[in-house]
Amino acid sequence: MMTMEEVKLYLQKLSKLGIKPGLKSTTELLRRLGDPHRQSKPEFIHIGGTNGKGSTAVMIASVLEEAGYSVGLFTSPHLHCITERTQINKKAIEEEVVALLLEEMQSPIEAMVEEGFAHPTEFEVWTALSLLYYYRKAVDFVVLEVGMGGAIDATNVVTPLLSVITNVSLDHQDYLGHSVEEITIAKAGIIKKNRPIITASEDPTVLTLLQEKAIKEEAPLIQVVRKGPKLPRAQWVHYDIIKGKKELLVEGLLRSYGPLVAPLTGRHQQTNLATAVAVLEVVQERGYSWTESALKQGLVKTNWPGRQERIGNILLDGAHNEAGAVTLAKTLQEDYQGYKKVMILALLADKEREKVASLLAPEADHIIVCRANHERAGDWLALKEIVSPYCKSIQVIEEVAEALQQAEEVVTTCEKNGFLALIVLSGSLYLVAEARQIIFTKNHKYL
């Protein structure tokens, strides 16, 4: 059996293959593994979108688990260890199982390459490994998050019970297209023949394109809506926020629910919760029962680290695109009004640094620019000039540990002067992951 060190080296080698959009390699590898994704079980719930897909996925998985089902959850990227990506009932796949499955997959992969197929990438191998694992564990459901895009993402080999496109905005333009229209078309590729599609998008252009694709595929379209435009060909799941509270009422297709409390921080999570309810109703219509008690208890048990996660007086959020920055900025404005905010910021060079910085930097009283621990960090020092028009108090500290220590000192000074103070870490999940490891070391002051 491969050792874990050999597993890590193998996956690291695969990561150098980069991203190769397309389904050919994944489909062929799965064929050689017996097509585990084409069996009678599990049922797949396929979730795409620019933002909110992971949050929506973990809510759905937690509720179905609470209802008594065995539930696989597939998400990406991971924060600390790749095994986090592949879970059953909130438990990550064991390292020993990964080693055994990868060893089993070596011969099929080698045979593929010898026959002229492209070598599967890290994401393609991990997707195939996970689908094989879920099949052998005989799970009832797999809540499957799209890696990137939709049409040519490795996860799009499945025929799901239903699909979800949470929303669409600009991200990954080098792969998906440089306009919202192009990106929507890419993401709409997960809409399948006669399988319901659910969206919470409020963008008229996105909604029109999704409706066109749904009509073409004869796929029932369900729109989660609060105040935005309504599609005439869709069924509507309405939600509303109880005035002055963080609770919401959801008027579903089957019945009403609430008051419900979003288990994750940020007003956008209320939309994600309403979307999860819409998904669960479709699941129920397909013969899989759950109760409102399971809904509420499943939400309470939902956890999604690194996404507006509060630890002591630190707020961690991996916002790296415009839509993510908008939601974080709104949280800072609405929930932390009157706080002195010390922001540790790192943005990868291939992200919308100027746009994200223009949204987040004005919310900070003091900014510490640091380097995300990733090869795509690029000219990270350039971020200082990018944020300078929005904040006059800026430091540059390369190492995250040192940046965190400095932020704590600034916060302590603010608190001594009678202010409420908050440390905000954002701009990259790689930054958040490194910061969490530091924060969760033994005896850290915020634990």
Asked whether residue 442 carries a pLDDT value surpassing 70, the answer given is no
pLDDT value of position 191:
98
pLDDT value of position 444:
59
Percent of the chain with pLDDT over 90: 83
pLDDT value of position 446:
54
pLDDT, tens digit, for every residue of 138-182?
999 999 999 998 899 999 999 999 999 999 987 766 667 779 999
pLDDT, tens digit, for every residue of 35-89?
999 999 999 999 999 999 999 999 999 999 999 999 999 999 999 999 999 999 9
Whole-angstrom distance, CA of residue 358 vs CA of residue 139 = 44
Asked whether residue 229 carries a pLDDT value surpassing 70, the answer given is yes
pLDDT value of position 357:
94
pLDDT value of position 410:
96
pLDDT, tens digit, for every residue of 316-365?
999 888 989 999 999 999 999 999 999 999 998 876 889 999 999 999 99
Asked whether residue 200 carries a pLDDT value surpassing 80, the answer given is yes
Mean pLDDT of the chain: 93
Asked whether residue 102 carries a pLDDT value surpassing 70, the answer given is yes
pLDDT value of position 352:
81
- Both tokens of residue 329? 């900025």
pLDDT, tens digit, for every residue of 407-433?
999 999 999 999 999 999 999 999 999
Tell me which range, 20-24, 123-127, 376-380, is most confidently predicted by mean pLDDT.
123-127
Average pLDDT over residues 390-407: 96
Walk me through the domains of the chain, giving residue ranges and CATH numbers. 4-300 (3.40.1190.10), 309-439 (3.90.190.20)
